[in-house]
């Protein structure tokens, strides 16, 4: 009777794990994140601000024009002047065209363009980091759902076990000690279930924070593409494609241009200029003889201006030494970034390999624990095993299954982290471009770099990401899901 009751509990639990009619996929979660995540949207906006530095530096080498106007009331006249005017109006127009600035403008533009490339690499890094968090959150929800299912199943089995133990106690086959042991294990299982449910709610909240929507019937993730065959292969790819390392290299290159910009402060500057002025004394010039004097005047001038700095108190040298020191720091940061990438790749590869090995051993452990439990139950039926032996075997089976579920989660997250360190975990690598979602930062950089008009502006900004305030608080209910998802 006991074995029949346990089998009924297992069948009831399996029936609750049917395949869902509708489910969310990892691809859909990443696509939603790509469009609505506020951290990613903020990084894109900051990159667009960085794009504008190119136009700012280019403006320093372009012509500039200004107009001025004035109205003057001469409140008190000189006692020795008999023709001083009482009032006047004037207007002026000035045009300047820089010709030579010691290379400051040219190198400042190159520095800005290089930092735009560094910012684009940073944006790639942010994207892959967010995607890594989403994958971890996705797998955490799946893992915790599986653990809730396993824990709930354990409560059901131990409840049936307690009932069977009580029935056997009534006929004198078992003792009160056996009942107490069954009650104790059931209480622990119920406590573990509460903990698992709390962890599931936390995982779902983290998913909502990242993705911007409730996780609904998450399906098993697809195999990861492009995983390396060796740690050396992964490292070779990472040293060429890791976005953080690329950004550090671009910043080091930009800092070299900054040295030339600072040194240009010692060199001559040449510019062309032209101007025109108009004055009108409104009939007040000359006092009593104003009718004999012209009341308006115009002038125009043009020329070349050369400015040769002779002494500036050591400021240009200080600025250049400062730029050199910052360039040295940027070069060291390239080495630091390279070291970090090497460590990340090797650690991620080791974690991925270890998790895969744990999956294999955990699968063997689950099979052995299932066989052990079946044997202990059979031996108990003939009096060779105690109730405590059955309880221990059931606990070992639960632990083996939880370990297998956790190993599967860790292997997938470690594999994706490895791809991220290799620079292969972005939207372009995950097929999101097929849906027309790909954001190309170079489009905006090209759009703004050649703008000349002072009154050109973009529309007022508005938030692009979605709020989660209207999403109801998640619970610990688990959707119908298949064995491959639950990890059992």
Tell how far CA 425 is from the center of its chain: 12
Query: How far are the Cα atoms of 7, 10, 83, 428 from residue 393, in angstroms, in the given order?
Result: 16, 16, 116, 48
- Mean pLDDT value of segment 331-354: 96
Q: What is the pLDDT of residue 120?
A: 96
Q: What is the pLDDT of residue 18?
A: 35
Q: What is the pLDDT of residue 483?
A: 42
In three-state form (DSSP H/G/I as H, E/B as E, the rest C), the secondary structure along the chain is CHHHHHHHHHHHHHHCCCCCCCCECHHHHHHHHHHHCHHHHHHHHHHHHHHHHHHHHHHCCCCEEEEEEEEEECCCCCCCCCCCCCEEEEEEEEEEEEEECCCHHHHHHHHHHHHHHHHHHHHHHHHHHHHHHHHHHHHHHHHHHHHHHHHHHHHHHHHHHHHHHHHHHHCCCCCHHHHHHHHHHHHHHHHHHHHHHHHHHHHHHHHHHHHCCCCCCECCCCCCCCCCCCHHHHHHHHHHHCHHHHHHHHHHHHHHHHHHHHHHHHCCEEEEEEEEEEEECCCCCCHHHHHHCCCEEEEEEEEEEEECCCCCCCHHHHHHHHHHHHHHHHHHHHHHHHHHHHHHHHHHHHHHHHHHHHHHHHHHHHHHHHHHHHHHHHHHHCCCCCHHHHHHHHHHHHHHHHHHHHHHHHHHHHHHHHHHHCCCCCCCCCCHHHHCCCCCHHHHHHHHHCCCCCCCCCCCCCCCCCCCCCCCCCCCCCCCCCHHHHCC
Q: Report whether pLDDT(232) > 90.
A: yes
Q: Which of 162-176, 195-209, 413-427 has the lowest mean pLDDT?
A: 162-176
Q: Which of 112-126, 366-380, 393-407, 459-473 has the lowest mean pLDDT?
A: 366-380
Tell how far CA 329 is from the center of its chain: 25
> What proportion of the chain, given as a percentage, has pLDDT over 90?
60
Query: Which residues partner with 89 through β-bridges?
Result: 71, 280
Residue with tokens 């910043």: 251
Assign 294 a pLDDT band (cuts: 50, 70, 90).
confident
Task: Please tell me the distance from the alpha carbon of residue 448 to that of residue 456, in angstroms, as a whole number.
Answer: 10
Q: List the chain domain ranges.
A: 2-61+103-267+321-486, 63-100+268-308
Q: What is the pLDDT of residue 485?
A: 42
401: left (phi over 0), alpha (psi -120 to 50) or beta: alpha
Q: Which of 226-230, 267-271, 283-287 has the lowest mean pLDDT?
A: 283-287
Q: Report whether pLDDT(477) > 80.
A: yes
The pLDDT tens digits of the residues spanning 124-146 come to 999 999 999 999 999 999 999 99
Q: Report whether pLDDT(22) > 90.
A: no
Neighbours of 232 (CB within 10 A): 12
Q: What is the pLDDT of residue 430?
A: 86
- 252: tokens are 């080091």
Assign 20 a pLDDT band (cuts: 50, 70, 90).
very low
Sort strands 64-73 and 87-100 into parallel, antiparallel or unpaired: antiparallel
Q: pTM of the predicted model, to two decimals? A: 0.85
371-407: buried (b, 16+ CB within 10 Å) or exposed (e) per residue?
ebbeebbeebeeeebbbebbbbbbbbbbebbbbbbbb
Contact 419, 425 (CB under 8 A): yes
- Mean pLDDT value of segment 78-107: 87
Range 375-384, long-range pairs (CB < 8 A, 24+ positions):
377/2, 377/3, 377/6, 381/2, 381/3
- Mean pLDDT value of segment 450-455: 88
User: Which is the CATH superfamily of the domain at 2-61+103-267+321-486?
Assistant: Outer membrane efflux proteins (OEP) (1.20.1600.10)
Q: Report whether pLDDT(156) > 90.
A: no
Q: Report whether pLDDT(162) > 70.
A: yes
Assign 293 a pLDDT band (cuts: 50, 70, 90).
confident
Q: Which residues contact 302 (CB under 8 A, 6 or more apart)?
A: 272, 273, 274, 275
Architecture of the domain whose range is 63-100+268-308:
Single Sheet (2.20)
Query: Which residues partner with 100 through β-bridges?
Result: 270
């Amino acid at each position: 009777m006991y074995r029949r009751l346990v089998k009924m509990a297992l069948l009831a639990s399996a029936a609750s794990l049917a395949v869902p009619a509708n489910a969310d996929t990892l691809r859909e979660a990443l696509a939603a994140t790509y469009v609505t995540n506020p951290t990613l949207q903020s990084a894109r906006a900051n990159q667009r601000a960085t794009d504008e530095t190119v136009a700012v530096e280019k403006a320093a080498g372009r012509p500039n024009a200004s107009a001025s106007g004035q109205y003057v009331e001469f409140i008190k006249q000189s006692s020795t002047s008999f023709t001083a005017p009482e009032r006047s109006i004037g207007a002026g127009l000035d045009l300047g065209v820089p010709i030579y600035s010691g290379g400051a403008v040219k190198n400042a533009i190159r520095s800005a363009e290089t930092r735009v490339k560094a910012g684009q690499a940073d944006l790639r890094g942010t994207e892959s980091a967010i995607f890594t968090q989403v994958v971890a959150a996705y797998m955490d929800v799946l893992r915790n759902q599986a653990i809730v299912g396993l824990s709930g199943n354990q409560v059901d089995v131990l409840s049936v076990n307690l009932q069977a133990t009580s029935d056997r106690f009534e006929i004198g086959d078992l003792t009160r000690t056996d009942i107490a042991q069954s009650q104790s294990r059931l209480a622990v299982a119920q406590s573990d279930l509460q903990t698992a449910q709390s962890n599931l709610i936390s995982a779902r909240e983290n998913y909502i924070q990242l993705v911007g929507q409730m996780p609904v019937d998450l399906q098993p993730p697809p195999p990861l593409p492009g995983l390396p065959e060796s740690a050396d292969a992964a490292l070779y790819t990472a040293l060429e494609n890791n976005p953080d390392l690329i950004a550090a290299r671009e910043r080091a290159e930009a800092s070299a241009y900054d040295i030339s910009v600072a040194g240009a402060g010692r060199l001559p500057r040449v510019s062309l200029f032209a101007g025109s002025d108009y004055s009108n004394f409104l009939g007040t010039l000359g006092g009593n003889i104003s009718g004999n004097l012209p009341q308006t005047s115009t002038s125009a001038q043009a020329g070349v201006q050369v400015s040769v700095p002779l002494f500036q108190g050591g400021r240009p040298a200080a600025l250049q030494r400062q730029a050199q020191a910052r360039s040295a720091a940027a070069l060291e940061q390239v080495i630091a970034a390279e070291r970090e990438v090497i460590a990340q790749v090797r650690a991620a590869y080791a974690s991925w390999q270890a998790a895969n090995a744990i999956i294999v051993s955990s699968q063997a452990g689950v099979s052995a624990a299932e066989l052990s439990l079946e044997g202990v139950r059979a031996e108990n039926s003939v009096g060779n095993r105690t109730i405590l032996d059955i309880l221990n075997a059931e606990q070992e089976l639960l632990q083996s299954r939880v370990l297998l579920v956790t190993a599967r989660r860790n292997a997938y997250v470690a594999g994706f982290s490895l791809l991220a360190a290799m620079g292969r975990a972005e939207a372009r690598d995950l097929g999101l471009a097929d849906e027309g979602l790909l954001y190309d930062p170079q489009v905006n950089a090209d759009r703004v770099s050649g703008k000349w008009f002072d009154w050109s502006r973009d529309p007022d900004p508005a938030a692009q990401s979605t709020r989660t305030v209207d999403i109801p608080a998640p619970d610990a209910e688990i959707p119908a899901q298949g064995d491959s998802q639950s990890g059992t």
